[in-house]
Each structure stands twice: as structure tokens, then as C-alpha cells.
Amino acid sequence: MRAGGARWSLPARGSRMADAVLFEFLHTEMVAELWTPDPDPGSGGPEMSPSVLESVGFRVGQALGERLPRDIPAFREELDVLKFLCKDLWVAVFQKQMDGLRTNHQGTYVLQDNSFPLLVPMASGLQYLEEAPKFLAFTCGLLCGALHTLGFQSLVTASVAALPAWDMIDMFQVGFTRGGLQRWARTCSPPWVLLGCRLLSR
């Protein structure tokens, strides 16, 4: 961002390298500072109350959802919006595109990222699996916020199978538990991270 109130625009590719590292450090500190574990462990699964991290991500997502599509032609349908998320939003925030997008054409979308940049610095494999969800809360909020600006109510949940990959799923069923998500996850070929994103309404 240039100082002095000048128009903000995406800088040239070379100068973005420092941005990624700075964002990574900031995110790490945010997680350390703001993560509050779910006070009721029996509440059952990813339908948890939004944490502070998710709210921060939500607000950022709203702003990005306003700024990034500015020069893109109007979105015609849901799939355009999801493609925008996978390509433009992901490239803007993580300097890479989402690795896979699947849908059941009924409001359920699976987005797959095989090497999520915020998890790559952690050990690959299953060693830090329990810690991974903390690092996904902000991103969940980000996606939720961007979708909200673009007119969709959604529910985003995350699950990690093996670092550093993750998936995003829009789940249509209510009350999808973490256990169920991981069971579903194991049927897919690893490594990936599951991020559940349910499009509720427009």
C-alpha cells in the first residue's frame, strides 16, 4: 500500500514477495494472540461460534470482495463467483490459485488446496494436525466475507487431512460434525485440507 492516500493497486509481481512473508508473520502473530478455543468441547463440530479470527477475516473478505472484482465483468452465476474466489481472490492473498474446484450444482462446492501457504511452514504430514484449524480460521472468515459482499450467505468450515493441503466444501446438510467431515475426507486421496463452505442463500 502506498502512503499518502494514493490509489491502491496490486503492485508488480516482484514487489509482492515481501507482502507474502509479512502477511505470514502477521497471521502467525494474530493466531497466537487472538485464538480462543471453543469453550464447550461437546458442542460437536465445525458449526462453532465465530471466533475473533474469523470475524477479522470476514471484514477483510468484505473489503477484498469489493475491491478485487472492480475491473471484472459482471458475475452471471454462482460458478463465476466461485471461480473468482479460486483464481483472483486466492492469487491476491496467497499468490497461487486454488488447486481444485468441484461442485454438486446444488450450493455445495469443494475447493482443494494441496499446499496452503499458511500451513507450508509447519511440518508436512500428520504431526501438527491439531494445530492446523487455528491457522484456517482467518481464511474461513475471509471466504465468508468475500461471499457475503458478493451476495451469498455461506457457512465455511475447515478440516485438515494432512498438512499442508486443504479443501473447501460447501456442505448442504445441517450439523455436519467434524468427525463426519474427516471420515468423508479419508475417502478422498490425500494430502488435502477440507474447508467447508455452505452457500445458504443469496
Partner 1 sequence: MVHTSLDVVDEKISTMGKALVDQRELYLGLLYPTEDYKVYGYVTNSKVKFVMVVDSSNTALRDNEIRSMFRKLHNSYTDVMCNPFYNPGDRIQSRAFDSMVTSMMIQVC
Residues that bind partner 1 (CB under 8 A): 5, 7-8, 59, 62-63, 65-67, 69-70, 72-76, 149-151
* 95: CB partners within 8 A, 6+ apart: 16, 20, 117
**Closest Cα partner for 140 from 158, 152, 128, 154?**
158
CB of 108 to partner 1, least distance (A): 22
CB of 152 to partner 1, least distance (A): 10
Residue pair 195/136 in contact by the 8 Å Cβ criterion: yes
Residue 74 or residue 174: which is nearer to partner 1 going by CB?
Answer: 74
CB of 67 to partner 1, least distance (A): 5
Residue 32 or residue 74: which is nearer to partner 1 going by CB?
Answer: 74
Q: Is the dihedral of CA 57, 59, 64, 66 positive or negative?
A: positive
Residue 27 or residue 67: which is nearer to partner 1 going by CB?
Answer: 67
**Closest Cα partner for 45 from 162, 198, 200, 164?**
198
Residue 69 or residue 133: which is nearer to partner 1 going by CB?
Answer: 69
Amino acid residing at 97: Q
CB of 5 to partner 1, least distance (A): 7
